[in-house]
Amino acid sequence: MKTLLLVIMFAHGAIHLMGIAKAYNLAPVKALSQPINKLYGWAWLIGAILFIAAAFMFLSQNEWWWIPSAAAICISQSLVFKFWRDAKFGTIANVIILAATVAGFSVWFFNKSIHRGHESISQLTAIHQNHNTAYENK
């Protein structure tokens, strides 16, 4: 399952490179029939960079991978809406990546909550031990 997610993220990021190529006439892009201005070309490039960065972070088990992934999904889906005729199938990849991103955020949030709980328990234990030591010394 992780491998499939990585393939989708890398492929979707690579597909986003078509937008910058089309905007700057770097290569003929027959898959995109609508014109793309240079500003939108940069949005396509930023989406690509974010998807690829998120994939590398996921691959290296960086717990923060979901942040660039969430940003990439927002940019990507905005581009899908703008260029619907050419990019509508990008929604499928975005939904799949979104499901994994929500799961990644949930795991991160749960682990953060558990860590906070452990810290609170440690603090309370230390206070209790200090109180008992002070009481015993009287």
CA distances 127 to 43, 114, 115, 131, 135, Å, are 53, 20, 18, 6, 12
Grouping H, G, I as helix, E, B as strand and the rest as coil, residue 6 is helix
Q: What global pTM score does this model have? A: 0.82
Q: Tell me the mean pLDDT in the region 60-81.
A: 97
Task: Tally the residues of the chain.
Answer: 138
Of the pLDDT bands very low, low, confident and very high (cuts 50, 70, 90), residue 121 is: low
pLDDT for the residue 63 = 94
